[in-house]
Structure 1
Amino acid sequence: MDPFEDPSLGIEERVDDLLPRLSAEELVGLLFHTVIECGPDGSLLEGPGRIAKSATRDVVVGKAMNHFNVHALADARTAAAWSNRLQELACEQPHSIPVTISTDPRHAAAQNAGTSWASVFFSQWPDPMGLAALDDLELIGAYNDVVRREYVAVGIRAALHPTADVATEPRWGRQRETFGQDSGRATAFTRAAVRGLQGDALGPDSVSATTKHFPGGGPQAGGEDAHFPYGRDQVYPGGRFVDHLEPFRAAIAAGTAAIMPYYGRPVGLSIDDEAIEEVGFGYNRQILTGLLREQLGYDGVILSDWELVNDNHVGDQVLPARAWGVEHLDPAERMLRLLDAGIDQFGGEECTDLLLALLAEGRVTRERLEASARRLLRVKFALGLFDDPFVDVDAAPSLVGAPDAVAMGLRTQARSVVLAAVGDALPLRAGVRAYCEGLDAAAAAGHVTVVERPEDADVALVRLRAPFEPRSDLFLEQWFRAGSLDFPPGLAHRLGRIAAHCPLVVDVSADRPAVCTPLLAVADSLTVTFGVSDAAWLDAVTGRVPPEGRLPIDLPSSMDEVRASAEDVPGDTPHALFRAGHGLRLPTR
């Protein structure tokens, strides 16, 4: 064995031995982290995928890359078999550097190719906002421990979460991934999430955490998202930058393996009386080196968010590189700017030839690349990937979606339901005749007697999604919900016609807040949910699993107050319909 292959040696000793052995191609390959797709029945793709730009062999062997964010997976056995094939392919590299497979969240029902995946063979839980509604640190740790066990079983060893952003802007479309609007709670929950994934220290049974989006992606101007040019600005009109930073301090103290800065560019921000350059956080040396490295003392991996160097081509659509504030730079200049800011790894990119050229031209040094490669290799060694990167394909189906985890996830969904207003209709009586909209008839039939008309019903059950304004049909844009929080003006009138026949129970599935004021005029009862299935919601409103949730965010009373509020200040609408912390209990019959 070479020293780097010897598990009896310390991590630093192994890294010290391996680094000088690496060719320029191997060194550069470590600094890229892009999308990969699983082929049919766990095969390796022999050509580009729907989103993946290259065949798997081309990136693993041809470009010496070994960090990949996997997209859709069919089932546990397929995922595990694919992971093993990927690790076998990596053995064809000169030093057999194992692959680190990462993923966006998979344990909730939401599907967004830019942020999360619906993978129903994993146990299913509420969104992080729903976990926050239960305000239970032990639950956050237990949930993330389940996530860790299920990821490890299929070979996923890096989580592109938790999301430590503080949800202070009601219109922002990524709030469901957060722990709500309270910085203190988000800080405690982020710490618990990192420890649930990693343990007290990274080890062979850990999943490395990537805490995002430094230094807090919540205060987006007008609530628009920085994935898109019209949402590039982050603003702090209330002067609350420090509140958004606190959860990241906790993640660093908990040992988070990686931190991801957001796309946004800070506008009008000063730190210690120093004006911060208005360029995206990934390019911002004041933020990444000055604040994160030097002031906060972080020496883990800094992984950029996706596609900061090149435009992304998906089908016939071209999505511009998210180079906010440095759009005028060419790809080589953007890459140099990212490295100078402090980035260790380029997310969503596979342009290894560009970095190799910069190295050959002397525009970037091997010493600079080795500094980042050292951080990346430390994580691989700590996770035990160099010693055994393979998983047990036969065991995976029993380890993923185990009955106890599934039952706990379903029960947690039901418990997380928030009762905003409760009338005489709740809890639902056994066998009650129910007219249903927006929920699956088969799920409802297990709890109530479903009827076709409100006229024949004892109660009406209606589940609504929080409103939004579609932006366009561009890739990704269709999944990011933005704009007004008002329901269509005719909705309350239509629901009132239903309520004329029977008591009306309305649920609002809140991936962001909604202006529910008009609903209270027609609904007997109002619930708010954060990633709760029909079956779990019915468990809650029937009292089978009593709902315990309390709002982790305010529900505003009007859009006028939302538009007048400061993006970085929690609870900044003066006459909120329901404040964070609100939540009633079912009456006893």
Structure 2
Amino acid sequence: MWTINAQERIPEVEALLRKMTLEEKIGQLNLLTPGGGVATGEVVSKNVEAKIKAGQVGGLFGVAGPDKVRVAQELAVKESRLGIPLLIGSDVIHGYKTTYPIPLGLSASWDMDLMKQAAQMAAREATADGINWNFSPMVDISRDPRWGRIAETAGEDPYLGSKTAEAMVKGYQGSDLAAAHTLLACVKHFALYGAAEAGRDYHSVDMSKIKMFNQYLPPYKAAVDAGAASVMTSFNDIDGVPATGNKWLLTDLLRKRWGFDGFVVSDYTSLNEMIAHGLGDLQAVSTLALKAGLDMDMVGEGFLTTLKKSFDEGKVTEAEITDACRRVLEAKYISGLFDDPYRYLDSKRPEKDILTKENRALARKLAAHSFVLLKNHNDMLPLGNKGKIALIGPLADSRENMLGTWAPTGDFNLAVTVLEGFKNVASEANIQYAKGSNISNDPEFAKKVNVFGPRIEVEERSPEALLKEALDLAKTSDVVVTVVGEATEMSGEAASRTDISIPDSQKKLIRALVDTGKPVVLVLMSGRPLTIPEEFELPVAILQVWHPGVEAGNAIADVVFGDYNPSGKLTATWPRNVGQIPIYHSAKNTGRPAPENEEFQKFKSNYLDSPNSPLLPFGYGLSYTTFEYSNLRLNKETIGQGESISVTVTIANTGDYDGEEVVQLYLRDVVRSITPPKRELKGFQKILLKKGERKEVTITLFPDDLKFYNSTLEFVSEPGEFEVFVGTDSDAQLSKTFTLK
């Protein structure tokens, strides 16, 4: 883990700094990409080889493979004056070559051990390909599913987001960052990126400090506390100053208040983008960023091309440049690169560590554990391995849409389609396929989505012909499974949507299939919560599978045919319509709360045309079995400051299948000095119960769980009454109260 004490610097780094010219120090602050892979921005660096030789590059990304990385590393080590090795970065967001579910899907497993295993696998594979620094985890809180990058988050909740951030950092970094199978983690996007106004990517963010500290900052702090080696700035502004040049954010909060001693990198050209924000020319914004606490400039080369001039003009000091350079060099030292620049470049490792049978098995398990059963009309699921099954839908045999957004290191050609998975798992059933519809019939929309290749294919066959083929198949089948939803790039970066319903082409298909009178199962694939009130009212079963990764088809079949009982729970609230957004479980009560039965009353906080409640609450998810909660009790009725309290509940599996349940604990601070949320997640535990089994589950509330940031941003707990709720989702009904003295 990251262990440098700011007061006890590394002697080897200090000795190197004394040898470096000012220009060489500035060179270490420059992060470039030579191109050739999937770009994560519009700019690709030029003359990279010459700049490495001149000592003008601190790190690269977009290059992978032991042989390719060795060429770059040898340029730095053998041909630059001081031979300083390069950091080699990559966006390993949800698996490297063995891709697993998008982060929003993975978080729905509520299984921190599995998440840690996922990160460890990704680290093993990425380091086998020469990568030593990962631009992950993304820990932004998002409460607006219009924002495409909600797919990369753990959802809306700061408590769950903090646990997820910690698990991923520890999974990537392990206990020794110099080990050949561990990566430097990079926490992003610091900060508040998930709160972009109107759900539009890169847009402004404006919120109070109280909201920041209580609801949006906790996952970043949890990642820093877990030892994250680096932090990436966000594109948005905070209190009117873009994050990349925000001294309050990067120095006062991150370094001084939180004690972070790693290094800070900009996001892709976010330093240069401060010009468009209105903060000055490239020299001005580069000076602003350095003084704010930015250490490394990704791709934009503002530091490289302007800092020497700013130094000559007295606008920056050599000490400021040296401090930034020191932090970059310390990361290289901790990674073991000074000891052995080629430690990650074993040409035998890719075959041994990447896309192994064991890795694919874990990806399959991760996917199955991420799925959320939203509805199971007439207990349609699981299906039997028999009879004639019509597998219909534009995503049922679409290999290119299985990995999900932000899988630049994955290869969709290796993905298992749903059709293949069904045939693998249900070998005794007669499975027939028809496409049924296009993902969208709009060629202009498809063009926007298909930037990285065909994700939406608008067939030459007419929509009517596609539908007729599907209906003919459905009418001769025993059951229909239709795989519908979003193409991969309908969510993700620069993929905001004002309409997050299922596209009309697929809506028409779903209604027509239901009208055949056959049992219909919807397998719903998306990178975000969708608005599905019409589909939810239909007599169908609905299984939400996100974008599951390379083992997508096998994992979906495992759940549909009952080899695994779904246990996922939503980590973001599903709205009835976009007019409810932002919508989340820990909202405040207001001074004029609507009636709990949601009966409309004038002059209360409600809508004329919709209930306040979401379609599906945070924490929601069904199982093939049923669970009964009873006998909620506390070990104390009154506690003092600094004391813990234990909450115990009895859970019984009352259905016909073995199954896992996520027991969730929510807390309400009844009276405090600033308005409290109606309830907040403060604990959870995932348990396995055999059919007919009963267990007692105890969740402990620790002193910090009762604390909040008050109006002066002190982290405090205040005496008074607290109400505990325990149940299967955020609408949990069992409750008890206790008093904090």
Which one has a larger percent strand, Structure 1 or Structure 2?
A: 2
- 8 A Cα contact 2:54 2:81, kept in partner: no
Given the two structures, how large is their TM-score scaled by the length of structure 2? 0.66
Separation in 1, partners of 2:193, 2:43:
25
CA-to-aligned-CA distance 1:244-293 (integer Å, 9 cap, x gap): 11112211211111112211113xxxxxxxxxx41211111122222222
Task: Provide the residue aligned with 2:45 in structure 1.
Answer: 53
Structure 2 residue aligned with 1:554, among 555, 573, 582?
Answer: 573
Structure 1 residue 335 displacement after superposition: 0.4
Task: Provide the residue aligned with 2:349 in structure 1.
Answer: 395
* Match status 1:411 vs 2:365: yes
* Match status 1:340 vs 2:262: no
Task: Provide the residue aligned with 2:14 in structure 1.
Answer: 16
Are residues 551 and 566 of structure 1, via their aligned partners in 2, closer, same or farther at CA, if it must alter by over 3 Å? closer
* Match status 1:80 vs 2:62: no
Structure 1 residue 167 displacement after superposition: 2.1
1:274-353 map, 5 Å? 277-310=239-272, 321-323=273-275, 325=277, 327-351=278-302, 352-353=304-305
Task: Provide the residue aligned with 1:439 in structure 2.
Answer: 396
Are residues 169 and 324 of structure 1, via their aligned partners in 2, closer, same or farther at CA, if it must alter by over 3 Å? farther
* Match status 1:459 vs 2:479: yes
Structure 1 residue 375 displacement after superposition: 0.7
Structure with greater contact order relative to length (CA < 8 Å, sep ≥ 6): 1
Are residues 255 and 459 of structure 1, via their aligned partners in 2, closer, same or farther at CA, if it must alter by over 3 Å? same
- 8 A Cα contact 2:109 2:371, kept in partner: no
Task: State the secondary structure of the residue aligned to 1:170.
Answer: coil
Separation in 2, partners of 1:260, 1:420:
35
1:149-548 map, 5 Å? 149-200=124-175, 202-205=177-180, 206-226=182-202, 231-235=203-207, 239=211, 241-266=213-238, 277-310=239-272, 321-323=273-275, 325=277, 327-351=278-302, 352-390=304-342, 391-423=345-377, 424-431=379-386, 432-437=388-393, 438-440=395-397, 441-446=419-424, 447=426, 448=429, 449-452=431-434, 453-466=473-486, 479-488=494-503, 491-501=506-516, 502-532=518-548, 533-548=552-567
Are residues 58 and 457 of structure 1, via their aligned partners in 2, closer, same or farther at CA, if it must alter by over 3 Å? farther
Are residues 52 and 324 of structure 1, via their aligned partners in 2, closer, same or farther at CA, if it must alter by over 3 Å? closer
Separation in 1, partners of 2:107, 2:588:
15
Query: Which amino acid is 2:21 matched to?
Result: S
Query: Which amino acid is 1:86 matched to?
Result: A
Larger radius of gyration: 2
- 8 A Cα contact 1:128 1:178, kept in partner: yes
Separation in 2, partners of 1:570, 1:411:
37
Task: State the secondary structure of the residue aligned to 1:398.
Answer: helix
Are residues 445 and 350 of structure 1, via their aligned partners in 2, closer, same or farther at CA, if it must alter by over 3 Å? same
- 8 A Cα contact 2:148 2:490, kept in partner: no
CA-to-aligned-CA distance 1:310-367 (integer Å, 9 cap, x gap): 3xxxxxxxxxx25464x25111001011112111111222342322332344332221
Separation in 2, partners of 1:444, 1:238:
50
Task: Provide the residue aligned with 1:578 in structure 2.
Answer: 616
- 8 A Cα contact 1:465 1:508, kept in partner: yes
Separation in 2, partners of 1:287, 1:567:
27
Task: Provide the residue aligned with 1:127 in structure 2.
Answer: 102
Separation in 2, partners of 1:439, 1:145:
30
Task: Provide the residue aligned with 1:46 in structure 2.
Answer: none
Structure 1 residue 129 displacement after superposition: 1.7
- 8 A Cα contact 1:419 1:585, kept in partner: yes
Separation in 2, partners of 1:571, 1:53:
51
Cα RMSD of the aligned pairs, angstroms, is: 3.0
Are residues 303 and 583 of structure 1, via their aligned partners in 2, closer, same or farther at CA, if it must alter by over 3 Å? same
Separation in 2, partners of 1:396, 1:582:
40
Structure 1 residue 58 displacement after superposition: 2.5
- 8 A Cα contact 1:279 1:324, kept in partner: no
Structure 1 residue 187 displacement after superposition: 0.7
Are residues 523 and 64 of structure 1, via their aligned partners in 2, closer, same or farther at CA, if it must alter by over 3 Å? farther
Query: Which deviates the most, 565-574 or 480-489?
Result: 565-574
Given the two structures, how large is their TM-score scaled by the length of structure 1? 0.82
Task: State the secondary structure of the residue aligned to 1:579.
Answer: coil
Task: Provide the residue aligned with 1:116 in structure 2.
Answer: none
Aligned residues: 523
Separation in 2, partners of 1:264, 1:519:
36
Q: Which runs of 5+ in 2 are unaligned?
A: 1-7, 398-418, 435-472, 591-610, 626-655, 658-741
Percent identity between matched residues is 25
Task: State the secondary structure of the residue aligned to 2:14.
Answer: helix
Separation in 2, partners of 1:569, 1:543:
37
Are residues 59 and 38 of structure 1, via their aligned partners in 2, closer, same or farther at CA, if it must alter by over 3 Å? farther
Q: Which runs of 5+ in 1 are unaligned?
A: 1-9, 40-48, 74-78, 109-118, 267-276, 311-320
